[in-house]
Amino acid sequence: MGKTTMAYELAYELDAVLVDLEYDGGGATGKWGDRPLDRARIPILDAIRTGKTPKPLNGFKKPRLVPGHPDLYDQAPSEDAMADALVQWAGEWDTEWVVVDTHPGATTQAHGALSVANVVLAPTPLRKLDLDATEQLVDELADYPLVISPTMVPAAPPGTMIDRLARMVDGTPVQVAPPVPHAARVGTRTKRIAITAEEPPAKPLRAFAAAITDTAKFLQEYVND
């Protein structure tokens, strides 16, 4: 379970607008069911260029969405333009939350989102290579409002990985969100509606859905503290 699934589910749980900054087709836009190449215009880039606030797409039991587009790759907005746009949009949409799903890597739009974020959530599977990457992230972003979300956590999580995560954040302001258990069905699920929108979720997904709800509550308390 990766960052896009987490962003998608949390956006629905928080009644947020989800802004997709992915440009390779593997992000929230495709998961939502939108086909950005079928339209002549590019809402997210048009909004940044014109200074107008985009109207999010609405869907049944899905988060409201500002879709990404492949042209975000070679027409990437500057860090300042992205930051200014997100602040404006957040002030004009009828929501207390905006969730931004950034493209992997150090893109200008990702840095723009980071610069105005109230919380930066880093989903982190409890595995060595993932913890290696997260340790570097903690070193680089410790002065940001960084929260690590342990994901794909097995029923009996390895003590060495838990201890390493604890050492990683010790002495920093970085916090750790409630664990999100491993659920194989998340990776194979084809439904577009949010898992937490199902009443109730399928039995293999119930612990995962409960963890998403717990994470949303944690983030609300973190931001409002």
Q: Domain locations in the chain? A: 1-117
Model pLDDT, residue 106: 77
Cβ proximity of 67 and 74 under 8 Å = no
Close Cβ partners of 176 (under 8 Å, ≥ 6 residues apart): 147, 148, 149, 150, 165, 166, 169
> Position of tokens 């002495």?
171
pTM of the model as a whole: 0.94
Return the closest-CA partner of residue 179 out of 151, 210, 219: 151
Q: Say which CATH superfamily domain 1-117 falls into.
A: P-loop containing nucleotide triphosphate hydrolases (3.40.50.300)
Residue with tokens 């896009």: 4
Quick one: 85 exposed, middle or buried, by C-beta within 10 A (0-12, 13-18, 19+)?
buried
How many Cβ atoms sit within 10 Å of the Cβ of residue 165?
20
Size (the chain), residues: 225
With beta carbons less than 8 A apart as the criterion, state whether 216 and 14 touch.
yes
At 88, is the secondary structure helix, strand, or coil?
Answer: helix
Residue 130 and residue 17: Cα distance in Å, rounded? 28
Bridge partner list, 64: 17
Q: pLDDT value at position 166?
A: 95
Q: Do 76 and 42 contact (CB within 8 A), yes or no? A: no
Query: What pLDDT, on a 0 to 100 scale, did the predictor assign at position 186?
Result: 93
Largest CA distance in the chain: 52
The pLDDT score that the predictor gives to residue 1 is: 52
Q: What are phi and psi of 172, to 5 degrees?
A: -120, 165
> What are φ and ψ of residue 72, in 5° steps?
-65, -15
Residue 80, φ and ψ in degrees, nearest 5: -65, -40
Q: Which two tokens stand for residue 79?
A: 């860090």
Pair 193, 11: CB distance under 8 Å: no
Q: What pLDDT tens digit does each residue of the chain (225 aa) get? A: 578 999 999 999 999 999 999 998 778 999 999 998 898 899 999 999 999 999 999 999 999 999 999 999 999 999 999 999 999 999 999 999 999 999 887 799 999 999 999 999 999 999 999 999 999 999 999 899 999 999 999 989 889 999 999 999 999 999 999 999 999 999 899 999 999 999 999 999 999 999 999 999 999 999 998
